[in-house]
């Protein structure tokens, strides 16, 4: 039984780490997009496309893990994370946290879709912008 407890706690912690990875991926994509010139050199475009693909892969895996690890976290929340001193107020805090997180993930998905379109522009893919 001890190993199951450790596995559940590790899953809970990994859920938090995946959330951080997702947030950092969004910031990284925003920085990459903001710093990439509208008309850039071919090497700059190639770096931008490769970086976007790598960060997108990390973000997708993070989101999948957040959803997968979220289920056991919900099931075992009362056993492993409930704080009696916070009482029922922690339910309101969790609701607010999830509203904020859903808004951030939604904003991230919107910006990723925009960046995905940007990386698929023929000029970027064929190196016809700059040299």
In this prediction, residues 14-37 reach a mean pLDDT of 85
Alpha carbon distance 71, 98 (integer Å): 14
131: number of CA atoms within 13 Å, CB side? 0
Pair 96, 25: CB distance under 8 Å: no
Average pLDDT in the chain: 83
Quick one: pLDDT band at residue 80, thresholds 50, 70, 90? Answer: confident
Q: What is the pTM of this model?
A: 0.75
Domain boundaries, the chain: 2-126
Structure confidence at residue 92 (pLDDT): 92
Which distant-in-sequence residues (6+ apart) come within 8 Å of 45 by Cβ? 36, 123, 124, 127, 129, 130
3-state secondary structure of 9: helix
């Amino acid at each position: 039984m001890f190993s199951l407890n450790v596995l559940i706690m590790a899953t809970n912690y990994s859920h938090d780490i995946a959330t951080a990875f997702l947030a950092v991926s969004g910031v990284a994509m925003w920085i990459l997009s903001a710093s990439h010139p509208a008309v850039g050199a071919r090497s700059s475009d190639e770096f931008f496309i490769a970086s976007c693909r790598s960060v997108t892969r990390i973000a997708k895996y993070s989101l999948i893990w957040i959803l997968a690890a979220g289920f056991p976290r919900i099931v075992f929340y009362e056993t492993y994370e409930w704080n009696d001193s916070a009482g029922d107020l922690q339910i309101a805090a969790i609701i607010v946290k999830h509203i904020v997180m859903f808004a951030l993930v939604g904003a991230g998905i919107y910006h990723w879709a925009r960046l995905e379109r940007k990386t698929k522009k023929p000029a970027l893919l064929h190196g016809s912008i700059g040299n």
